[in-house]
Amino acid sequence: MVSNESKERIRLDFLPVSLAPQEYAIFKNPNLSRFTKHGPFTDLKTTQAFIARHNQSGNFFGIYLQNGELIGNCQLVVNQNAKTGEVAYGIAEEYWGMGYGTEALQLLLAYGKRTYALKQIIGVCAAMNVASQKVLQKNGFHYVRVEKNALQKFDVAYDLIYFEKTLSN
Protein backbone atom coordinates (compact mmCIF):
# COMPACT_ATOMS: atom_id res chain seq x y z
CA MET A 1 0.00 0.00 0.00
CA VAL A 2 1.18 3.48 -0.78
CA SER A 3 -0.48 5.29 2.14
CA ASN A 4 2.92 6.24 3.51
CA GLU A 5 3.56 8.14 0.28
CA SER A 6 2.37 11.63 1.01
CA LYS A 7 3.24 15.22 0.50
CA GLU A 8 2.18 18.22 2.49
CA ARG A 9 -1.02 18.67 0.46
CA ILE A 10 -1.94 15.19 -0.79
CA ARG A 11 -1.57 11.48 -0.18
CA LEU A 12 -2.10 8.38 -2.28
CA ASP A 13 -4.03 5.54 -0.70
CA PHE A 14 -6.33 2.62 -1.46
CA LEU A 15 -9.56 3.64 -3.22
CA PRO A 16 -12.41 1.55 -1.79
CA VAL A 17 -15.53 0.81 -3.83
CA SER A 18 -17.48 2.58 -1.07
CA LEU A 19 -16.11 5.87 -2.45
CA ALA A 20 -17.73 5.24 -5.85
CA PRO A 21 -20.14 8.19 -5.39
CA GLN A 22 -17.19 10.58 -5.02
CA GLU A 23 -15.31 8.95 -7.90
CA TYR A 24 -18.44 9.16 -10.06
CA ALA A 25 -18.83 12.87 -9.26
CA ILE A 26 -15.29 13.45 -10.53
CA PHE A 27 -15.26 11.24 -13.62
CA LYS A 28 -18.75 11.89 -14.98
CA ASN A 29 -17.34 15.23 -16.12
CA PRO A 30 -16.93 15.19 -19.92
CA ASN A 31 -14.16 17.80 -19.65
CA LEU A 32 -12.07 15.27 -17.73
CA SER A 33 -13.02 12.16 -19.69
CA ARG A 34 -12.03 13.73 -23.01
CA PHE A 35 -8.45 13.11 -21.85
CA THR A 36 -8.97 9.50 -20.69
CA LYS A 37 -9.17 6.18 -22.52
CA HIS A 38 -12.73 5.75 -21.31
CA GLY A 39 -15.73 8.03 -21.67
CA PRO A 40 -17.39 9.84 -18.79
CA PHE A 41 -18.79 7.58 -16.10
CA THR A 42 -22.49 7.14 -16.76
CA ASP A 43 -23.75 5.74 -13.47
CA LEU A 44 -22.75 4.58 -10.02
CA LYS A 45 -22.76 0.87 -10.91
CA THR A 46 -20.28 1.42 -13.75
CA THR A 47 -18.09 3.45 -11.41
CA GLN A 48 -18.14 0.69 -8.79
CA ALA A 49 -17.12 -1.85 -11.44
CA PHE A 50 -14.33 0.46 -12.65
CA ILE A 51 -12.90 0.79 -9.13
CA ALA A 52 -13.20 -2.95 -8.42
CA ARG A 53 -11.53 -3.86 -11.74
CA HIS A 54 -8.67 -1.42 -11.22
CA ASN A 55 -8.17 -2.50 -7.60
CA GLN A 56 -7.82 -6.11 -8.82
CA SER A 57 -5.16 -5.13 -11.34
CA GLY A 58 -3.16 -3.51 -8.55
CA ASN A 59 -1.33 -0.28 -7.85
CA PHE A 60 -4.51 1.79 -8.23
CA PHE A 61 -4.87 4.61 -5.74
CA GLY A 62 -7.10 7.46 -4.79
CA ILE A 63 -5.55 10.91 -4.69
CA TYR A 64 -6.68 12.52 -1.45
CA LEU A 65 -6.22 15.95 0.02
CA GLN A 66 -4.80 15.73 3.53
CA ASN A 67 -8.32 16.42 4.86
CA GLY A 68 -9.45 13.12 3.27
CA GLU A 69 -11.28 14.55 0.25
CA LEU A 70 -10.94 12.38 -2.86
CA ILE A 71 -9.80 14.53 -5.81
CA GLY A 72 -8.77 11.91 -8.37
CA ASN A 73 -7.03 8.62 -8.97
CA CYS A 74 -3.80 7.27 -10.35
CA GLN A 75 -2.34 3.94 -11.34
CA LEU A 76 1.04 2.39 -11.93
CA VAL A 77 0.94 -0.59 -14.29
CA VAL A 78 4.09 -2.62 -13.65
CA ASN A 79 6.03 -5.03 -15.85
CA GLN A 80 8.22 -6.66 -13.21
CA ASN A 81 10.29 -8.66 -15.70
CA ALA A 82 11.33 -5.55 -17.62
CA LYS A 83 11.41 -3.35 -14.48
CA THR A 84 9.22 -0.81 -16.25
CA GLY A 85 5.92 0.83 -15.49
CA GLU A 86 3.28 3.03 -17.04
CA VAL A 87 1.54 5.81 -15.13
CA ALA A 88 -1.98 7.15 -15.44
CA TYR A 89 -3.68 9.86 -13.41
CA GLY A 90 -6.82 11.97 -13.36
CA ILE A 91 -7.66 14.97 -11.19
CA ALA A 92 -11.07 16.58 -10.62
CA GLU A 93 -11.48 19.62 -12.86
CA GLU A 94 -11.85 22.05 -9.96
CA TYR A 95 -8.28 21.13 -8.93
CA TRP A 96 -6.65 21.52 -12.34
CA GLY A 97 -3.70 23.89 -12.52
CA MET A 98 -2.92 23.67 -8.80
CA GLY A 99 0.00 21.23 -8.98
CA TYR A 100 -1.84 18.20 -7.60
CA GLY A 101 -1.17 16.10 -10.69
CA THR A 102 2.54 16.89 -10.48
CA GLU A 103 2.61 15.93 -6.79
CA ALA A 104 0.63 12.73 -7.34
CA LEU A 105 3.00 11.66 -10.10
CA GLN A 106 6.01 12.36 -7.84
CA LEU A 107 4.50 10.07 -5.21
CA LEU A 108 3.68 7.38 -7.77
CA LEU A 109 7.25 7.46 -9.14
CA ALA A 110 8.74 7.16 -5.64
CA TYR A 111 6.41 4.25 -4.91
CA GLY A 112 7.36 2.44 -8.14
CA LYS A 113 11.05 2.89 -7.53
CA ARG A 114 10.90 1.82 -3.88
CA THR A 115 8.42 -1.06 -4.22
CA TYR A 116 9.42 -2.55 -7.58
CA ALA A 117 12.91 -1.13 -8.24
CA LEU A 118 11.61 0.13 -11.57
CA LYS A 119 14.18 1.42 -14.03
CA GLN A 120 11.92 3.15 -16.53
CA ILE A 121 8.44 4.69 -16.46
CA ILE A 122 6.25 5.51 -19.45
CA GLY A 123 3.58 8.18 -19.55
CA VAL A 124 1.07 8.45 -22.38
CA CYS A 125 -1.40 11.26 -22.94
CA ALA A 126 -3.64 12.64 -25.64
CA ALA A 127 -1.84 15.16 -27.83
CA MET A 128 -4.49 17.75 -26.99
CA ASN A 129 -3.86 17.30 -23.24
CA VAL A 130 -1.18 19.96 -22.87
CA ALA A 131 -1.56 20.07 -19.07
CA SER A 132 -0.72 16.37 -18.74
CA GLN A 133 2.30 16.83 -21.00
CA LYS A 134 3.50 19.56 -18.63
CA VAL A 135 2.96 17.32 -15.58
CA LEU A 136 5.10 14.62 -17.18
CA GLN A 137 7.82 17.07 -18.19
CA LYS A 138 7.90 18.67 -14.71
CA ASN A 139 8.57 15.18 -13.36
CA GLY A 140 11.56 14.63 -15.65
CA PHE A 141 9.89 12.70 -18.46
CA HIS A 142 11.11 13.31 -21.98
CA TYR A 143 9.26 13.08 -25.28
CA VAL A 144 9.59 9.79 -27.18
CA ARG A 145 7.07 9.84 -30.03
CA VAL A 146 3.58 10.61 -31.28
CA GLU A 147 1.31 7.79 -32.36
CA LYS A 148 -1.21 9.12 -34.85
CA ASN A 149 -4.85 8.07 -34.46
CA ALA A 150 -3.86 5.70 -31.64
CA LEU A 151 -6.97 6.09 -29.51
CA GLN A 152 -10.42 5.51 -30.97
CA LYS A 153 -13.19 6.94 -28.80
CA PHE A 154 -16.73 7.85 -29.84
CA ASP A 155 -15.83 7.47 -33.52
CA VAL A 156 -13.01 9.99 -33.18
CA ALA A 157 -9.32 9.13 -33.50
CA TYR A 158 -6.88 10.85 -31.15
CA ASP A 159 -3.12 11.13 -31.36
CA LEU A 160 -1.20 9.91 -28.31
CA ILE A 161 2.13 11.29 -27.12
CA TYR A 162 4.56 8.93 -25.39
CA PHE A 163 7.00 10.12 -22.74
CA GLU A 164 9.50 8.17 -20.67
CA LYS A 165 11.66 8.65 -17.63
CA THR A 166 14.67 6.61 -16.57
CA LEU A 167 14.86 6.18 -12.81
CA SER A 168 18.29 6.33 -11.21
CA ASN A 169 19.39 4.00 -8.42
Show me where the domains of the chain are located: 10-122
Q: Is 5's pLDDT higher than 70?
A: no
Q: Which CATH superfamily is domain 10-122 in?
A: Gcn5-related N-acetyltransferase (GNAT) (3.40.630.30)
> What pLDDT score does 25 carry?
95
Kindly report each contact of residues 93-101 with a partner whose C-beta sits within 8 Å and lies 24 or more positions away, as own/partner.
Answer: 93/29, 93/31, 93/32, 95/71, 96/131, 97/131, 99/9, 100/9, 100/10, 100/63, 100/71, 100/72, 101/72, 101/131, 101/132, 101/135
Q: Is 3's pLDDT higher than 70?
A: no
Tens of pLDDT, residues 108-139: 999 999 999 999 999 999 999 999 999 999 99
Tens of pLDDT, residues 54-113: 999 889 999 999 999 999 999 999 999 999 999 999 999 999 999 999 999 999 999 999
> What pLDDT score does 4 carry?
56
> What pLDDT score does 40 carry?
81
Tens of pLDDT, residues 17-36: 999 999 999 999 988 877 77
Q: Is 1's pLDDT higher than 50?
A: no
